[in-house]
Structure 1
Amino acid sequence: MAGRRRPPRTRAPRQDRPAGVGRTESRVGIARLEGLLAWEAEIAAAERDARAFAEQFPWLPAAERENLERAYAADRLRYAEEVVDRAVERCRRLAARYRSECRRICARWAALCLSVTLAAALFAVVPAALRG
């Protein structure tokens, strides 16, 4: 029984690579491989559970039991896909929130550093201007 499989998501390779990109690409590749393995394990578990569920109905003909297995596995994989999609969307929302928060904090630090620099410059220039 073949489970529903997600198509692999691919990106076009970048030509201009900054330093350290190879390491990042390796991490992304490993994460994709882990995701693929986890999805294959979910397919295997769905098929195993579908078989166990269908075995509860021994009076069903073999063809109907196979249809029941297919429907059960497809429903479970559809649910698993929805769970994964919700988790991915939540991660994206959190990442966007953290990026905006980081930008806000960086802007505050930049403003603080600029104001301290200006204050130090004023304290250095004003006494000299008053003396001379």
Structure 2
Amino acid sequence: MGGRERPPKARNARPGRRATGPQAGGQAVDARVEIARLEGYLAWEAEVAAAERDARAFADRFPWLSPDDRDALERAYADDRLRYAEEVVDRAVERCRQLAARYRSECRRICARWAAVCLSVALAAALLAALPAALHG
């Protein structure tokens, strides 16, 4: 069937992450990235197989179709299903990126507040420590 012509778009590793592992062709290989790619490939192949299986089941409902019409129907069904699956994955990836950016921003804001609180406490402690010496001196 025609579903395998449209693999999902390549997803890049998260920016700012250091690659680890041995050098391969001038590029450092991160095992986590490679495992994620393999998982993505296997998940996509499972989706392709499910789309083809469901396309055959759908075409079975129309026993009067000629073999060419049946193949065309199966191909169209599988292509539509895979296109939809790719759109769902793309939307999920985009939402994950949005959430990651939001969480990074929140984390920076919280860290800045904690730094301000710690600095204020340290300054207050220093002033309180110096105050008795200033009053007696």
Give me the TM-score of the superposition, normalised by structure 2: 0.83
Q: Is 1:2 matched with 2:7?
A: no
Runs of 4+ in 1 over 2 A off after TM superposition: 6-11
Aligned partner of 1:89 among 82, 85, 94: 94
Is the 2:2–2:78 Cα contact (8 Å) retained in structure 1? no
Corresponding residue number in structure 2 for 1:52: 57
CA 1:10–1:101 in structure 2 vs 1: closer, same or farther (change >3 Å)? closer
> Percent same amino acid at aligned positions?
73
Q: In 2, Cα distance between the equivalents of 1:126 and 1:9? A: 59
| CA apart distance, 1:10 | 5.5
Q: In 2, Cα distance between the equivalents of 1:86 and 1:9? A: 13
Q: Secondary structure at the match of 1:5?
A: coil
Q: In 2, Cα distance between the equivalents of 1:85 and 1:10? A: 13
- Counterpart amino acid of residue 120 in structure 1: A
Corresponding residue number in structure 2 for 1:124: 129
Is the 2:2–2:79 Cα contact (8 Å) retained in structure 1? no
Q: Secondary structure at the match of 1:22?
A: coil
CA 1:26–1:64 in structure 2 vs 1: closer, same or farther (change >3 Å)? same
Q: Secondary structure at the match of 1:58?
A: coil
| CA apart distance, 1:124 | 1.2
Q: Secondary structure at the match of 2:30?
A: helix
| CA apart distance, 1:60 | 0.8
Q: Is 1:79 matched with 2:81?
A: no
| CA apart distance, 1:2 | 3.0
Give me the TM-score of the superposition, normalised by structure 1: 0.86
CA 1:26–1:40 in structure 2 vs 1: closer, same or farther (change >3 Å)? same
CA 1:94–1:10 in structure 2 vs 1: closer, same or farther (change >3 Å)? closer
Structure 2 regions of 5+ residues with no counterpart? 22-28
Residues 105-132 of structure 1 show CA distances to partners (whole Å, capped at 9, x for unaligned) of: 1011100100011001101112112211
